[in-house]
Amino acid sequence: PELKKQPLTVFQNFERDIFDSLESGNDLLSKYKRLVLVFPTDGYYPVEIMKGFRTYCLVFNKEFEIRESACNEVPRAHTAYIVIEETDLAELVKKVRQSDYQLGTDIGIVSFNDTTLKELLDITVITTDFETMGKMAAALLLDKKQIRVKNPFHMIRRGSL
């Protein structure tokens, strides 16, 4: 509030972004009755992610849970997991591979933020476009524009969902 001018801002709307991304994957999520968000409370993650997830589940009539960790999770059929941290992703993939369930058929996994490893492991992600974010911030700085721009956020569909 103490800033004299509107600062250059490239932002994410976490609540709306997760809702919209999950909604764009309704055709894939329709085979799952239950959704579980693995949302660590010891991290610095925006609570708006939980709000958007909860809203999606209520609007689309999905059973849902929010867990702090995947450590004690026992994978259940017809469940899709949305995970934020890499350690929870690794834990879930390992547990699914050790079970009789098939990833992408019986159990789904969606991870936050794309990486080369997730691409190689065929993990569906919801992610902001980091390259666009950097280019946009640089362009606004160079053009000396003091505006607010929402960065794109989308689902990359892969075999884990």
What does the pLDDT look like over 92-144, one tens digit per residue?
Answer: 999 999 999 999 999 999 999 999 999 999 999 999 877 877 787 787 777 87
pTM: 0.87
Rounded alpha-carbon distances, angstroms, from residue 30 to 19, 78, 96, 131: 15, 10, 20, 31
Amino acid in the structure at residue 54: R
Q: What is the pLDDT of residue 149?
A: 78
Angstrom distance (rounded) from CA 36 to CA 82: 6
Of 108, 86, 114, 134, whose CA–CA distance to 25 is shortest?
Answer: 108
Q: Residue for token digits 């976490």?
A: 14
Give the full edge-to-edge strand order of the sheet including 107-112.
Answer: 63-67, 34-38, 79-83, 107-112, 124-128, 153-156
Rounded alpha-carbon distances, angstroms, from residue 23 to 6, 111, 116, 121: 32, 15, 24, 23
Pairwise pLDDT comparison (15 vs 140), residue with the higher score: 15
The mean per-residue pLDDT over the stretch 26-42 comes to: 95
Amino acid in the structure at residue 136: M
The mean per-residue pLDDT over the stretch 70-74 comes to: 93
